[in-house]
Structure 1
Amino acid sequence: MAADKTVVPAVIVGGGRVGRALHDMGSGEDVLIKRGESFPHDFKVPILVCTRNDDLEAVLHSTPKSRWSDLVFFQNGMLEPWFENKGLGNADQVLAYFAVSKLGEPPVDGITDANPEGLTAVYGKWASAVAARLRARGLSCKVLDKDAFQKQMLEKLIWICAFMLVGARHPGATVGAVEKEYRSEVSALISELAAAAAEEKGIVFEEAMEDRLCAYSRAVSHFPTAVKEFKWRNGWFYSLTEKAIAEGKQDPCPLHTTWLQELKIV
């Protein structure tokens, strides 16, 4: 790719598929940091974090505290409890609905028949700079306020928790197979998780969530399914279950709990 001088330079933490793709989108002035490499203290630019969720603690410890407000998190899953614990309540986040199939390959936008305008979204201090970087390479990206972003973040969380759990019940099932062959199962789970999330966060989701999530599944139908990063994904919904039971209330996610137990995940 040719360098684009209109793109704001960045520090990119993580040399995997997404980190490399973001670096390739840059102006030629980016600094790419891999595991164990030192942080450039005097480079006052956004810090794009493209590591695994379980590496976030190490990333935070290696970043000068004065620069924490410049961190932009590209991770999937429920990060809000971790953000609050670290005093990062207004942290920049990106919902990346683009896929990079192999290291060094260009990203493919997650455009669906339900959302032809694209689904990738960003929130926070550096939102416009991140959106400009993605758009310069032909990818869609919406800049949202915090409330709108939270709703979309929860939708993506529901997608990954529902489709991965249903797929895990049917060994070998891809995301596309779940959408096509096990639609009733995933539909019931989406409804349950959406109701629990709406109640917990005091929000109202836009109508037709199931249609949007199934459309995305058709767009990434080849993705394999597995329940991973439990703490950051299904674990958040299971924490709602544990809290309700401890308070003598009904489980808000009984189907989710039953299937987690069936697979001996809890």
Structure 2
Amino acid sequence: MLLLSILVVGWALVPPSTPVRRGGRVFSTELEVVEEEVAMGPPPDDPNDVPAVVVGGGRIGGLLSSLGPKDVMMTRTSGWPEDAPAEGPIYVCTRNDALDSVIDATPVDRRDDLVFLQNGMLGPYLESKGLAHATQGLVYFAVAKLGDAPVDGVTDLDPQGLTTATGKWAPAFKARLAKAGLKCHVKEGEDFQRAMLEKHVWICAFMLVGASRGCTVGEVEANYASEFDELAEEMVSAGEAALGITLAPGYLDRLKAYARSVSHFPTAIKEFSYRNGWFYKMSMDAFAAGQSDPLPIHTKLLYDLNMPLPIPI
């Protein structure tokens, strides 16, 4: 009776002569849409989502394992699990300082399956480990505390979300996130590098301005937007030169739109060698070559925070 009532209400709200478009198809009425959805039942599981090893039981690791089909958990100190699936992604959901131990614990013939989900510019580090082509994910969703439902990083400028992945297991990561209603884009080559640079500039610029002002991400966007703009433009220019890419116009607006969606985030300088250290090394290299600093605003803000610089990279 409940289903019949729903169908009747759907028919009553939309007259039979009103065409309805859904998923690229045109139905005669909303009633036809409801009838087809009922007949089809829930969408089938995406075959790209396969059993995985999840490294780290924190907020992101806990989310991924809760969505997965027969995953096996691993910690930074537990060693390689004996019951790990013979193939499939290895989602690394740890802090950057645990990456060495995770890679060392992973069998050599499985390291191509590692999926790195950390913040920061990981390229130089992964190259040093022979993993230049490893799967990477740029995470733009948040889990407030362990077990909470995730909140997607959609903005008023990017309603389709910002999370992006590249590499062998990118489709698997996308399929896993879809189970939680989270959006993910799969990009390769320069398209991914552009997305990576934008994410990197976002976290490095907002954290640095926020730390220097003692405020949240949202307060930076609301009260110190001009300072952020100057620093971010400097970082983008240096990053584009280093990577040989050009960001699409409007990147400042996109970065600030995401800041508004996570306005409560606190700010701090963390994991320096992977984040702001990537830019700081450009300054140190320029000084060593007798050239002017390509990032003078960035360098000044770092020294104003009384950080123990110079830091070897």
TM-score, length-scaled by structure 2: 0.81
CA RMSD of aligned residues (A): 1.2
Which AA in structure 1 matches 2:72?
A: V
Which AA in structure 2 matches 1:224?
A: P
Q: Secondary structure at the match of 1:37?
A: coil
Distance 2:234 2:183 in 1: 30
Distance 2:113 2:235 in 1: 32
The yes-or-no answer on 1:83 pairing with 2:148 is: no
The yes-or-no answer on 1:122 pairing with 2:177 is: no
Once the two structures are TM-superposed, the CA of residue 38 in structure 1 deviates from its matched residue by 3.1
For the 8 Å contact 2:207–2:269, the answer to whether it is kept is yes
Report what 2:19 is aligned to.
none
State the structure with bigger RCO (CA 8 A, min sep 6), 1 or 2.
1
Which AA in structure 2 matches 1:246?
A: A
Structure 2 stretches lacking a partner, 5+ long? 1-43
Which AA in structure 2 matches 1:184?
A: S
Distance 2:131 2:175 in 1: 24
Report what 2:28 is aligned to.
none
Report what 1:37 is aligned to.
78
Report what 2:284 is aligned to.
242
The yes-or-no answer on 1:134 pairing with 2:177 is: yes
Q: Secondary structure at the match of 1:231?
A: coil
Report what 2:23 is aligned to.
none
Q: 1:104 aligns with which of 147, 168, 171?
A: 147
Distance 1:228 1:255 in 2: 19
Distance 1:74 1:61 in 2: 17
Once the two structures are TM-superposed, the CA of residue 249 in structure 1 deviates from its matched residue by 1.1
Which shifted more, 40-49 or 235-244?
A: 40-49
Once the two structures are TM-superposed, the CA of residue 199 in structure 1 deviates from its matched residue by 0.9
Q: Deviations over 1:154-211 (max 9, x none)?
A: 111100110000001112x110000000001000000000000011111111111100
Report what 1:113 is aligned to.
156
Q: Secondary structure at the match of 2:73?
A: strand
Equivalent residue pairs, number = 261
- Aligned-residue identity in percent: 52
Distance 2:180 2:58 in 1: 18
Structure 1 stretches lacking a partner, 5+ long? none
Which AA in structure 2 matches 1:31?
A: V
Distance 2:196 2:67 in 1: 24
Report what 1:217 is aligned to.
259
Distance 2:168 2:217 in 1: 34
Once the two structures are TM-superposed, the CA of residue 132 in structure 1 deviates from its matched residue by 0.5
Report what 2:94 is aligned to.
51
Distance 2:96 2:79 in 1: 20
Distance 2:257 2:120 in 1: 19
Distance 2:45 2:304 in 1: 53
Moved over 4 A (4+): none
For the 8 Å contact 2:76–2:101, the answer to whether it is kept is no
Which AA in structure 1 matches 2:61?
A: G
Report what 1:159 is aligned to.
202
Once the two structures are TM-superposed, the CA of residue 224 in structure 1 deviates from its matched residue by 0.3
The yes-or-no answer on 1:73 pairing with 2:73 is: no
Which AA in structure 2 matches 1:261?
A: Y
